[in-house]
Structure 1
Amino acid sequence: MKLSHSLAVLIIAWFAVIGRIQAVTLEVNEGNSTCIKAELSASFSITYNTSNSTRTAQFSLPDSATVDTGSSSCGTDNSSPWLVALFGPGHTLGLSFSTNGSLYNVANLTLQYNLSDTSIFPDANSSDVVTVVSSSVGIWATINTTYRCVSPTTFSVGGATVTFSDMRLEAYMPGNDLSPTESVCTADKGSPTAPPTTASTTTTPAPPPTPPGTPERGTYSVNNSNGTVCLLARMGLQLNFSYFSLSQNKTVQELVNLSPNETSVSGSCEASSASLVLIQEQTTTLNLTFTLNSTSNKYRLSAITLLANWSDMTVPFRASNDSLDYLRSTLGRSYMCNAEQTLTVVPTFSLNTFRVQVQPFEVTTNQFATAEECQMDQTQMLIPIIVGAALAGLVLIVLIAYLIGRKRSHAGYQTI
């Protein structure tokens, strides 16, 4: 009995040591400030060639890993922030970050491994240092929040895989410690479970979702550095996109209205560009970017980005297009369109707009300038005019025909 107890204690202690080896804290500093901090466990699986076969090396990021201060940085106007962990003889794990002002994400995941390390790659037929890179790995969070993902998450990087677990990470940090507010990954939110069924239970297909109807019209504004309004928008917005549903185990098409009361607003204004960022319930972020052509004095909606991270999604949904040409108008005027419009972004995502009026440049006294109406509104106004003119013309033709016919009937009789 005592032996069994001692063995159990030994096993628990051994696993605790293993856990301690895999848990790593990494920080990138600039002066006395911390800009990137990560607490994570990472394991690697790499297939390599030997003289007569292939093998797979599996190893973990050791707790002796350190930040490579020469490669890591907080970023500048011309370069991205980088966190590079150095371990063993020439192995590195790197994360580069980007932001749109409201969200940050891991833009690139880089793994460098040294095949001459015989402790990890015995009998390798090469001594090369191999670098593999993966972009858009799906790690993103709202600015000033900590990305948290306790569940193991595996990413393919070239011919290798990297699995993160117990991950807490933040970039573009305002302070020196991780934010207590967290953006939780989809894997940690869990998936809905179906109710148990028995042989006698009959099931009927779920009814199709009820369309959300016309979205509520919201008023959104962005202030510049001196506190005055630089972008003004009033519109109803509806998201139309498809994603793979965990609960239904298939790809579904979703229509979602943005609710002004549940949406936070941010953005920025520059001389030739302005952005409006709308975040609903910390799970859905819509970014609209307007650009100004200083030669023609015309502006347009040139880019739309949608990020959605719902518990029913297998992976976060991301769609972006920066070569659009919508909501075009003249500098010093606002754009207005009462008709419903569908702004196609990518094949899996379009944005429906309702009763839009927007002005991203030269807003004065917090009011819209004189509006330029969209072609659809002008066409809708012309239709009743054309129909009315056609009816008037028809009445005139009938009247003329009647008068001519009456005159001819009188000409057929003579007076006695």
Structure 2
Amino acid sequence: MKLSHALAALIIAWFAVFGRIQAVTLEVNQGNSTCIKAELTASFSITYNTSNSTRTVQVPLPDSATVDAGSSSCGLDGNTPWLVAVFGPGHALGLSFSTNGSLYSVANLTLQYNLSDTSVFPEANSSDVVTVVSSSVGIWAPINTTYRCLSSATFGVGGVTVTFSNMRLEAYMPGNDLSPAESVCMADQASTTAPPTTTTSATTTVTPAPTPPGTPERGVYSVNNTNGTACLLAQMGLQLNVSYFSQSQNKTIQELVNVTPNLTSSSGSCEASSATLILTEGRATTLTFTFTLNSTSNKYHLSALTLLANWSDMTAPLSASNTSLNYLRSTKGRSYMCNTEQTLAVVPSFSLNTFKLQVQPFEVTTNQFATAEECQMDQDQMLIPIIVGAALAGLVLIVLIAYLIGRKRSHAGYQTI
């Protein structure tokens, strides 16, 4: 009984502080013009430490949240566009945006929470203000188009789970309201029932299966520091394995598409504990790799992959992202190498095949790869000929020993006259 009363008191306190939980409308303005607008529902699952245990709380974004005019920006004069919503005593949600001229995307998702807020974090053993950041969360749309995702979408952000739903947003807006043209997320597309087809007596033409594209060409990519020296190096052949709804075939198809190095540009950034490689092929395909370094173990891994594709046969742009991966593991100051073909599963609709891959996202010196740590598949392939060779050598040795024993016995059969 006491527990239920305490829980009720906590819920009442929460609603007293943050108000009702519902969709929030947020706008960033420059003068009389609106450059960023978002309508969304959001909640955050946060785990924190108490004096003798850990607790997890669900924190909603309340309708009392407001845009922080001092931190938010339309991104004029080369600055990054930011939408920062503040709520409660010291909590904030931030979205930064970037564009390649034809598409815009959420470049960073930032959450700040204040552990000294006892109404949300009772008995927390810290009063710190914690900030967590995630890049490439897969929210994007063509310019002059509203991104729409009514379904729930969950993202891992530095140990915190962020869930969005009922989302409609647009950045780099040409007018003061969301564009009527919408880019619908894959989750909403999957929930839409396809219209029934009408059977006729006409002869049906069967579309032949596409020819496999073969092994992709190996590309050479890099990211440079502000001083012009390389901070990330990558050499690899890449093949996209994508499922999408085809306009021409009126059904969902699976397609293998090779990334063409001479049509692909590379960019990105390097930080102390994270590095990002962005590959852009024309205006139709953007592939983003995010590497994360564990400063305690000095090990790094590929933690996130995002594909943004807007191909001519697609009914809507494709956005596929996973921010909780654990691929391409190696040690800081060394490169990771895997000549064997690998398949990196990202989401059900997208996986990435790699060929002759070598990458180094941290501590690059003299613009060259450091000593490589090879993947287990390459080590296994090297082990097979060693085992076969050892077996053959053993067989030869057995035959030789048998021959010598047989010869010795044949000599022992003769008597001296």
Q: Structures share a fold, TM > 0.5?
A: yes
Partner of 1:282: 283
Q: Is the 8 A contact 2:243 2:252 kept in 1?
A: yes
Q: Which residue number corresponds to residue 361 of structure 1?
A: 362
Aligned to 1:334: 335
- Secondary structure of the structure 1 residue equivalent to 2:346: strand
* Matching residue of 2:372: 371
Aligned equivalent of 1:320? 321
Distance (whole Å) between structure 2 residues aligned to residue 185 and residue 309 of structure 1: 14
Shift of 1:222: 1.1
Bigger-Rg structure (1/2) = 1
Shift in Å, 1:274 = 0.4
Change (3 A) 1:34 1:269: farther
Tell me whether 335-344 or 390-399 shows the greater mean CA deviation.
335-344
Question: Against the structure 1 CA distance between its residues 157 and 222, is the aligned structure 2 distance closer, same or farther, given a 3 Å change threshold?
Answer: closer
Q: Is the 8 A contact 1:106 1:140 kept in 2?
A: no
Alpha carbons of 1:140 and 1:74: their partners in 2 closer, same or farther (altered >3 Å)?
Answer: farther
Deviates more, 1:308-317 or 1:351-360: 308-317
1:341–1:154: structure 2 CA closer, same or farther, 3 Å change rule?
A: closer
Separation of aligned partners in 1, 2:388 and 2:354: 28
Equivalent residues of 1:74, 1:81 under 8 A apart: no
- CA distance in structure 1 between the aligned counterparts of 2:32 and 2:268, rounded to whole angstroms: 25
Q: Whole-Å Cα distance in 2 between the matches of residues 362 and 139 of structure 1?
A: 30
Pick closer, same or farther for the CA change 1:333–1:33 going to 2, 3 Å. Answer: farther
Q: How far is 1:337 from its partner?
A: 1.5
Q: Is the 8 A contact 2:97 2:107 kept in 1?
A: no
Shift of 1:139: 7.4
Q: 1:305 to 1:391 in 2, by over 3 A?
A: same
C-alpha RMSD of the superposition = 4.4
Change (3 A) 1:315 1:105: farther
Compared CA separation, residues 107 and 248, structure 1 to 2 (3 A): farther
Partner of 2:17: none
The answer to whether the 8 A contact 1:344-1:350 is kept is yes
The answer (yes or no) to whether the contact 1:28–1:74 under 8 Å persists in 2 is: no
TM-score (norm 2): 0.59
Given that 2:340 and 2:377 are in contact with CA atoms closer than 8 Å, whether structure 1 keeps it comes out as yes
2-side partners of 1:139 and 1:273: how far apart?
Answer: 20
**2:312 — aligned with what?**
311
> CA distance change for structure 1 residues 284 and 409 in 2, over 3 Å: closer, same or farther?
same
> How far apart are 1:306 and its partner, in Å?
1.3
Work out whether 1:221 is the aligned partner of 2:229. Answer: no
Structure 2 residue aligned with 1:265:
266
Mapping for residues 142-181 of structure 1, pairs under 5 Å: 146-148=143-145, 170-171=171-172
Q: 1:272 to 1:35 in 2, by over 3 A?
A: farther
CA 1:100 to 1:346, structure 2 compared with 1: closer, same or farther past 3 Å?
farther
Q: Distance in 2 between matches of 1:107 and 1:302?
A: 15
State the distance in 2 between where 1:147 and 1:395 align.
74
Instruction: Name the CA distance, whole Å, in 1 between partners of 2:326 and 2:150.
Output: 35
Question: 1:81 maps to what in 2?
Answer: 83
Change (3 A) 1:202 1:414: farther
Letter of the aligned partner of 1:147 in structure 2? Answer: N
Query: Could you say if the C-alpha distance between residues 337 and 308 of structure 1 is closer, same or farther in structure 2, counting changes exceeding 3 Å?
Result: same
Deviation at 1:414, TM superposition (A): 3.8
Shift of 1:106: 11
Letter of the aligned partner of 1:264 in structure 2? S
8 A contact 1:289–1:302 mirrored in 2: yes
Is the partner of 1:211 in helix, strand or coil?
coil
Shift of 1:259: 0.8
Aligned to 2:29: 29
Q: Verify the 8 A CA contact 1:74 1:80 in the aligned structure 2.
A: no
Instruction: State the Cα distance separating 1:237 from its structure 2 match.
Output: 0.8
Shift of 1:105: 5.1
Specify whether residues 34 and 392 from structure 1 end up closer, same or farther in structure 2 by C-alpha distance, changes over 3 A only: farther
How many residue pairs align between the two structures? 294
Any idea what the Cα deviations from partners look like across 1:288-332, whole Å, max 9, x if unmatched? 000111111111111111122223223322221112111111111
Q: 8 Å contact 2:232–2:270 — kept in the other structure?
A: yes
2:144 maps to a residue whose letter is: Y
Q: Give the distance between the partners of 1:301 and 1:155, measured in 2 at CA.
A: 27
1:411 Cα deviation after fit = 3.2
Amino acid at match of 2:257: V
User: Matched residues in 2 for 1:374 and 1:29: separation?
Assistant: 50
CA distance in 2: counterparts of 1:320 and 1:210, whole angstroms = 27
Matched residue type, 2:264: T
Ranges in structure 2 where 5+ consecutive residues have no aligned partner: 1-25, 38-65, 74-80, 86-93, 110-137, 153-165, 176-180, 185-199
Distance 1:155 1:344 in 2: 23
CA deviation after TM superposition for structure 1 residue 206, in Å: 2.3
The change in CA–CA distance for 1:295 and 1:97 in structure 2 (over 3 A counts) is closer
Helix, strand or coil: the match of 2:144? Answer: strand
Q: SS in structure 2 opposite 1:241?
A: strand
Distance (Å, rounded) in 2 between the aligned partners of 1:276 and 1:265? 7
CA distance in 2, matches of 1:369, 1:101: 33
* Paired residues for 1:54-65 under 5 Å: none
Contact 1:97 1:104 in 2 (8 A): no
Name the amino acid aligned to 2:276: S
1:220–1:234 CA contact under 8 A, matched in 2: yes
Contact 1:186 1:313 survives alignment (8 Å): no
What is the letter of the counterpart of residue 81 of structure 1?
L
> Are residues 154 and 280 of structure 1, via their aligned partners in 2, closer, same or farther at CA, if it must alter by over 3 Å?
closer
- Asked if structure 2 preserves the Cα contact closer than 8 Å seen for 1:27 and 1:34, the reply is no
Distance in 1 separating the partners of 2:210 and 2:375: 32
1:225: Cα distance to partner? 2.8
**Which residue number in structure 2 is paired with residue 402 of structure 1?**
403
Structure 1, unpaired ranges of 5+: 1-25, 39-69, 84-95, 109-137, 179-183, 188-197
Give the letter aligned to residue 221 of structure 1. Answer: S
**Structure 1-normalised TM-score?**
0.59
- In the aligned structure 2, how far is the partner of 1:106 from the partner of 1:314? 24
Aligned partners of 2:218 and 2:261 also within 8 Å? yes
